[in-house]
Amino acid sequence: MAIRELLVPTLFSIAAAILLLDLPEFTKPKFFTLSENPKVRSRLAAIGRESEYEKFRIDQLTHSIIAAACVTCVSVVATKNLLTSCLFAGGVGTLAFFMIDRGLSGEVKRYQRRIESEFSSIIEMLTLALSAGETPISALARISERSHGNLSGELKVVVKSVRMGTPFHVALDALGRRVDSVVIRRFVDALITAMLRGAPLIDVLQRHAAEVRLVERNHLMDKAGKAEISMMIPVVFLILPISILFALWPSLTHLNLFAA
């Protein structure tokens, strides 16, 4: 009887959580909100999803509740121990909550890595456009319309802000703050400084293109070094022991025969 009394509200909570996930954003209850978390909001803003903060937090809590409720049902049926089931379900729900948060951090890192990998190509196209006589804003607009990727999407935001009345250097500074990347931040600072002081932009862009290519080369070298170390693991712990075993097995067999 105790198991039924626990399973029925648990199943209802799972159904309510699933229903809450399927509801549109404007129909979700206003009281179903979590406390403000500036770190989560900043990470969502870094990948262009700042407007989805409430949705992400609600989905994060809902998935955690679903995971805890499912574990509760299975654990109660398997162990018949209410206290152990509740503790185990609480641990699983907490783990699911933090795993979703960690997944967001991983998504931010992948987003920044994609932007940095696209940066050298965008800089070269921007240099060619400025050398052809276009203005910086028209060159950015052309590149953002003709190219595809995360960085081109960020450039579209800059162009849209400028067309809505934001000063060009302010929109670029917002780009550097939004994309938490050292390479982008240096480029934005150098570009703003060159525009405010009247320095030639083409020389600045060429220097940054060479710097970005050097950073990409160093990153590839570091990645190759880590891959070399990871490739040594199966060689040392799998192939080498098997080779030694094949080499020693006949000798051990003959020694056993002589001993017999």
pLDDT computed for residue 32 by the predictor? 46
Neighbouring CB atoms inside 10 A of 105's CB total: 12
Q: How far is CA 161 from CA 41, 87, 138, 171, 254, in A?
A: 21, 50, 13, 6, 82
Domains of the chain: 2-110 (no CATH), 113-217 (1.20.81)
Cα torsion 222, 228, 232, 234: sign: positive
Give per-residue burial for 145-162: e unless 16+ CB within 10 Å, then b: eebebbbbebbbebbebb
Q: How far is CA 110 from CA 4, 47, 106, 238, in A?
A: 45, 10, 6, 32
Q: From first to last of its 260 residues, what are the pLDDT tens digits of the chain?
A: 445 545 545 554 555 555 454 444 444 444 444 556 778 887 887 777 777 788 888 888 888 888 888 877 777 777 777 777 777 778 888 888 888 888 888 888 888 888 888 888 888 888 888 888 888 888 888 888 888 888 888 888 888 888 898 888 888 888 888 887 788 888 888 888 888 887 788 888 888 778 778 877 887 788 777 777 777 788 788 888 888 888 888 877 777 777 76
Q: Is the pTM of this model over 0.75?
A: no
